[in-house]
Amino acid sequence: MLSATSAPVIDATLPVVADHLPAISDVFYDTMLGENPDLLNLFSRSAQATGRQRSALAGAVAAFASHLVGTGSAAEVVDHVVERIAHRHCALGIRPEQYTMVGRYLMGAVRTVLGDAVTPAVAAAWDEVYWLFAARLIGREARLFAEAGVRDDPWLEATVVSRIPEADDTVSFVLAPADGGPAPAFRPGQYVTVAVDLPGEGRQLRQYSLSQAPTGGTLRITVRRVRGTGGAPDGVVSGFLHDRVGPGDRLRLSRPYGDLALRDDDTPLVLVSAGVGITPMASMLDHVARTRPERDVTVVHADRGPDRHALLADIRSHGSRLRSFRHLVWYENPGGAAGAQPGLLDPDLIPLEPRAEVYLCGPVPFMQLVRAGLHRRGVNDERIHYEVFGSEQWRPTPVAV
Ligand SMILES: Cc1cc2nc3c(=O)[nH]c(=O)nc-3n(C[C@H](O)[C@H](O)[C@H](O)COP(=O)(O)OP(=O)(O)OC[C@H]3O[C@@H](n4cnc5c(N)ncnc54)[C@H](O)[C@@H]3O)c2cc1C
Ligand code: HEM
C-alpha cells in the first residue's frame, strides 16, 4: 500500500506523468542503454529501433500508480499483469539487483522530462511506487525461478535434434538438453526464450511457445520467419534460426515460463488461433489427447491460406484421439482447400459449449475481434485466456486487448 504522504502526491502528478510517458521512455532507454551498451544483448534491438515496446515499462509503472491511488485497474488486473511480466522477466533471466539500476534510470528520466515539477516529495512518492511494484515482481520472480530449479545460471544448453518444415516460412526445431538430462517440465501454453548470438551483432533473446505436449524427452518450438515489409529489415532471430540452425547445432534456452497455461480439468475447451499463434494450441491439444481424451475440444484456426497453415497434421492427429472434437478453419485465400471457410474468421460461428474455457492466440486485432464476439455471446473474461506474441501495453487508462 502507498503511504499516506505519497498518495496525494501521486494523485496530483499522475496526469502529467501519463501525458509524458513517451518522452520519459525515450530518455530512460537512451540514457540506460547509452551508458550500459551491454544491455543491448538483453533488450530487443528491433523493438528499440521501432520504438514498439518502449513505453511498456514506464507505462506499467504509471498504471500501477493509478491502481494504488484507486483510479486505475482492479486488483485482479494487477495480479494478471504482475504474473505476465514476472514470467517474461524470468524467461529473460532478469536478476533482482538489476531493479536498482532500472529504477535509477527511470527516476532520472522523470526528472529530466518534468524538470522543476519533480520536487523531493514528488521524487520520493514515485520512488515508492516503483519499489512497491518492483518488490511484487522480484518476489514472484524468485518463486518462479525456484520452481524452475534456477539458482545462478538461468540458461540451458540444448542440441537441435531435428528441424521439420511445417508450412511456408515455418519450421519446427526439436531440442534436447545438451547434457543428456531430461527436458524441463512445463505446462502446455508456455514458452521458452531462445538466446541467439548473431555474428557481429551480439546476443538477442526471443520467446517461442512450445508446440508439443510435455513429454520429458525433448522440447519443440515452431518458428515463423518474419519478413520485413515496406523497406523494414527481416526479423533477426527468426531469420537466423531459419537460415543458420539445423540438426547438431546448439541453442541456449531459458526454462519454460508463461502465464497462459492450460487448466487441467474437464471443462469443454475452445482453442482459437490465427497464423503462428497455433503453436501453444498444438501443445494444449497434444496434452489433452494424451491425458484426457474424453475432454470436449473445439479447435478454430484462421490463416492466410493452406500453404501458411502450420501444424495442421498434428492438430488432426491429436484431434482424432479425442472422443469429442470439432475443427473449424478459415482461409483468406482458400485456393480450393477442402473443408475450409473462405475469408476472415466469424466469431459468431465458433461452437461454444456451456462453461467452455477459451484459449486465444494470434495478432492483437484478431484477438480483439474474437474477444468482442465472445463477450456478445456471454463469455466473460474469466473464461478467456490469451497470449500476445509481443508486448501487452498496460496504461493508466486501461487499453483493451
Ligand atoms: C510469449 C511469446 C511467444 C511467442 N511464440 C512464438 C512462436 O511460437 N512462433 C513464432 O514464430 N513466434 C513466436 N513469438 C514471436 C517471437 O518471439 C519473435 O517476436 C519473432 O520471431 C520475431 O523476432 P525476430 O527477431 O525474427 O524479428 P525482429 O528482428 O524482432 O523484428 C520484428 C519486427 O520489427 C521490424 N524491424 C526491426 N528493425 C526495424 C527497423 N530498424 N525499422 C523498421 N522495422 C524494423 C521487422 O521488420 C519485424 O517486422 C512469440 C512471442 C512471444 C512474446
Ligand atoms: C518495476 C520494474 C519493472 C517493470 C514495471 C517492468 C515492466 C515490464 C513490462 C510491462 C514489460 C513488457 C512485458 C510484455 O512483453 O508484455 C517488460 C519487459 C522487459 N523487461 Fe521489465 N520491468 C521492470 C524491471 C525490469 C528490469 C529490472 C529489467 C532488467 C534490466 C527489465 C528488463 C526487461 C526486458 C529485457 C523486457 C523485454 C522487452 C524488451 O526486450 O524490450 N525489466 N518489463
* CA of 354 relative to ligand 2 center, distance in Å: 38
Question: CB of 65 within 8 A of CB of 14?
Answer: yes
pLDDT computed for residue 399 by the predictor: 40
Atom of ligand 1 nearest to the CA of 226: 26
* Phi, psi angle pair for 350, to nearest 5°: -75, 120
> What Cα–Cα distance (Å) separates residue 336 from each residue in 98, 230, 323, 349, 374?
54, 30, 29, 21, 29
Taking phi over 0 as left and psi of -120 to 50 as alpha, with beta for the rest, 133 belongs to: alpha
Distance between CA atoms of residues 96 and 141, nearest Å:
9
Ligand 2 within 6 A of 374 CB?
no
Catalytic residue among 128, 130, 141, 359: 141
Ligand 1: residue of 46, 229, 279, 388 to mutate (most ligand atoms within 8 A of CB) is: 46
Residue 99 is among the residues annotated as catalytic for this protein: yes
Ligand 2 within 6 A of 204 CB?
no
Catalytic residue among 29, 99, 257, 386: 99
Residue 191 is among the residues annotated as catalytic for this protein: no
* CA of 340 relative to ligand 2 center, distance in Å: 40
Q: Which residue, judged by its Cα, is nearest atom 39 of ligand 2? A: 43
Question: CB of 280 within 8 A of CB of 362?
Answer: no
* CA of 246 relative to ligand 2 center, distance in Å: 31
Ligand 2 within 6 A of 134 CB?
yes
Distance between CA atoms of residues 365 and 389, nearest Å:
12
pLDDT computed for residue 401 by the predictor: 40
Q: Which three cell numbers stand for residue 68?
A: 494504488
Q: Which three cell numbers stand for residue 211?
A: 508446440
Is the CATH number 2.40.30.10 carried by domain 155-254? yes
* CA of 85 relative to ligand 2 center, distance in Å: 7
Atom of ligand 2 nearest to the CA of 53: 41
Q: Which CATH number fits domain 6-147: 3.40.50.620, 1.10.490.10, 3.20.20.70, 1.20.120.50?
A: 1.10.490.10
Q: Among all chains, which residue has been given the C-alpha cell 511506487?
A: 129
Distance between CA atoms of residues 274 and 283, nearest Å:
15
* Phi, psi angle pair for 9, to nearest 5°: -70, -40
pLDDT computed for residue 53 by the predictor: 82
Question: CB of 348 within 8 A of CB of 241?
Answer: no
Distance between CA atoms of residues 172 and 314, nearest Å:
12
| In the chain, where the domains are located | 6-147, 155-254, 269-400
Ligand 2 within 6 A of 33 CB?
no
CA angle, residues 116, 121, 124, in degrees to nearest 5: 110
Atom of ligand 1 nearest to the CA of 207: 17
Given this structure, which CATH class describes domain 269-400?
alpha beta
Q: Which three cell numbers stand for residue 340?
A: 475450409
Distance between CA atoms of residues 340 and 346, nearest Å:
13
> What Cα–Cα distance (Å) separates residue 99 from each residue in 34, 41, 103, 239, 291?
17, 17, 6, 32, 41
The pLDDT profile of the chain, 401 residues, written as one tens digit per residue, is 899 999 999 999 999 999 999 999 999 999 999 999 999 999 999 999 998 888 899 999 999 999 999 999 999 999 999 999 999 999 999 999 999 999 999 999 999 999 999 999 999 999 999 999 999 999 999 999 999 999 999 999 999 999 999 999 999 999 999 999 999 999 999 999 999 999 888 999 999 999 999 988 999 999 999 999 999 999 999 999 999 999 999 999 999 999 998 999 999 999 999 999 999 999 999 999 999 999 999 999 999 999 999 999 999 999 999 999 999 999 999 988 888 999 999 999 999 999 999 999 999 999 999 999 999 999 999 999 999 998 777 888 644 34
From the CA of 106, which ligand is nearest?
2
- Name which of 3, 1, 10, 19 is nearest 395 in CA terms: 19
- Name which of 332, 357, 362 is nearest 344 in CA terms: 332
From the CA of 44, which ligand is nearest?
2
Question: CB of 63 within 8 A of CB of 396?
Answer: yes
Q: Which residue, judged by its Cα, is nearest atom 37 of ligand 1? A: 46
pLDDT computed for residue 336 by the predictor: 80
Global model pTM greater than 0.95: yes
pLDDT computed for residue 400 by the predictor: 39
Ligand 2 within 6 A of 57 CB?
yes
Q: Which residues have CB under 6 Å of ligand 1?
A: 44, 46, 49-50, 191, 206-209, 222-224, 226, 228, 232-233, 235-239, 258, 276, 279, 387, 389-390
